[in-house]
């Protein structure tokens, strides 16, 4: 069923306009009587029925209000050190589909990609659009935020004060399964760039209380590691039923 995020709480007869409305009317060719779901981005879905089309959108009748079922219980911020090329776009899209709460791009010592502030601002806006589209497609009840890029130490300090930091390091020895048994539902997942984390960064993470972990015997690419970790986390937390 087509699904669209809207601002506020839709009620009665509601006009879906803008880019989403044009897409629904022109690309999806939705017609009177067909079902549509609106979501307020705050965890509520609104089942609707198409009433009629109009230039630039659709008129819908809101039929009710139900809790969104697409949000996991655990809130996981993916702290991804900036990779080269468009890899971060892939991470954002797939992490949102899997259930990430936030994505936080980070600068670490081995990052080759180092956009200037203006370029990073534009990149963050594009990443936020990708996150919204992925949330809409995957049936999420909220649009995960893409946070402004920050330094690794800043994110580690924030994680120490808010939840559990899971720091994935090539030389890490800790077990993710065991770490999750003692962790709560507020998690920060740290993944290095193409060259991985430097030893001093792993020591910094340890000093700030992070769990320095391994994802197994095989070395994963920077864009693969967060997705593998998210899948394992949500499976262990019972948010991924197989």
Nearby residues of 199 by Cβ (< 8 Å), 6 or more positions away:
171
Torsion of CA 72, 76, 80, 86, to 10 degrees: 20
pLDDT value for 216:
86
Q: Span 31-40, mean pLDDT? A: 94
pLDDT of 196 > 70? The answer is yes
The arithmetic mean of pLDDT across residues 208-225, rounded, is 93
As a whole number, the mean pLDDT across the chain is 93
Distance CA 159, CA 209 (A): 9
For residue 242, pLDDT beyond 80: no
Instruction: Name which residue leads in pLDDT, 104 or 217.
Output: 104
Q: What is the pLDDT of residues 57-94, one digit of tens each?
A: 999 999 999 999 889 999 999 999 999 999 999 999 99
* pLDDT range class, residue 56, cuts 50, 70, 90: confident
Confidence check: pLDDT of 240 > 80: no
Percent pLDDT > 70 in the chain is: 99
């Amino acid at each position: 069923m087509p699904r669209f995020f809207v601002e506020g709480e839709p009620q009665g007869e509601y006009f879906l306009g803008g880019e989403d409305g044009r897409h629904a009317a022109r690309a999806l060719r939705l017609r009177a009587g067909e079902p549509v779901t609106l979501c307020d981005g705050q965890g509520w879905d609104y089942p609707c029925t198409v009433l009629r089309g109009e230039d630039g959108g659709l008129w819908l009748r809101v039929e009710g209000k139900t809790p969104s079922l697409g949000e996991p219980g655990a809130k996981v911020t993916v702290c991804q050190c900036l990779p080269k090329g468009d890899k971060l776009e892939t991470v954002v899209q797939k992490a949102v589909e899997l259930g990430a709460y936030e994505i936080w791009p980070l600068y670490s010592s081995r990052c080759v990609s180092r956009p200037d502030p203006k370029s990073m601002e534009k990149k963050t806006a594009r990443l936020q659009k990708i996150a919204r589209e992925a949330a809409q497609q995957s049936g999420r009840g909220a649009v995960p935020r893409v946070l402004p890029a920050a330094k690794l130490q800043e994110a580690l300090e924030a994680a120490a004060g808010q939840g559990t930091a899971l720091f994935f390091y090539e030389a890490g020895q800790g077990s993710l399964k065991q770490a999750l048994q003692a962790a709560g539902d507020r998690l920060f997942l740290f993944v290095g760039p193409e060259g991985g984390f430097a030893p001093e960064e792993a020591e910094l993470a340890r000093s700030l209380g992070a769990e320095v972990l391994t994802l197994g015997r095989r070395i994963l690419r920077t864009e693969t590691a967060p997705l593998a970790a998210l899948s394992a986390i949500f499976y262990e937390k019972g948010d991924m039923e197989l």
